[in-house]
Homo-oligomer: A and B are copies of this chain.
């Protein structure tokens, strides 16, 4: 056992590394549009504003580069990545490929234990729909899909999905909203949940295909 697991133990204080803090700050700045696509990211400016040295800023930037939020040009520095509609469409195509396979496996190997999780997440989305926080809507949506991917039997599907999801979330945030009626987003997951409950892998796969294809067209067409 580790040092202490008494009933009255302290939750481990997340000593988020400085790099992680910088990365989070930059992500929210990008997502909120305080940093615009194509814009240059000056290491020294960021460092000075945050009151730290350039080293952690650089590492955070490299991290975001690997996540697809920044691009890097040797001797020129980091830039906010400007995603094109074509790139976003390509991302969705790969996402569909992965998720349709994932849900089929998810259902085929017995999804019953996870149905409560999915129902709970759906309720969460429905209650969030009353608010105007677009980011909460997106993240609720992605979380629903994450549950399926987490239990499909292929961890690689999940990690690859995370990369795609990051770019999709960013793109949707730049658009400003997903659907005029956020409740529609939540309800579009009902058929998925039903297909899962039925336990028909092929049906679930087809439903996911339709679900994501619809989202793809909706999002990409709005993304100028």
Residues of A at under 8 Å CB distance from B?
17, 55, 58-59, 62-63, 66, 74, 87, 90-91, 93-94, 97-98, 101, 154-157, 160
The CA-CA distance from A97 to B97 in the complex, in Å, is 7
In-complex Cβ contact of A157 among B66, B94, B156, B157 (8 A):
B94
In-complex Cβ contact of A90 among B87, B93, B97, B156 (8 A):
B156
Which residue of chain B is the closest to A19 with respect to CB atoms?
B74
The CA-CA distance from A17 to B160 in the complex, in Å, is 28
Interface contact B90-A157, CB-CB below 8 Å: yes
Interface contact A94-B62, CB-CB below 8 Å: no
Name the B residues within 8 Å of A156 (CB-CB): 87, 90-91, 93-94
The CA-CA distance from A59 to B62 in the complex, in Å, is 8
The CA-CA distance from A66 to B160 in the complex, in Å, is 12
Which residue of chain B is the closest to A95 with respect to CB atoms?
B156
9 closest pairs, A vs B, by CB?
A66-B66, A90-B156, A90-B154, A94-B156, A62-B62, A97-B97, A17-B74, A91-B156, A93-B154
Interface contact B154-A94, CB-CB below 8 Å: yes
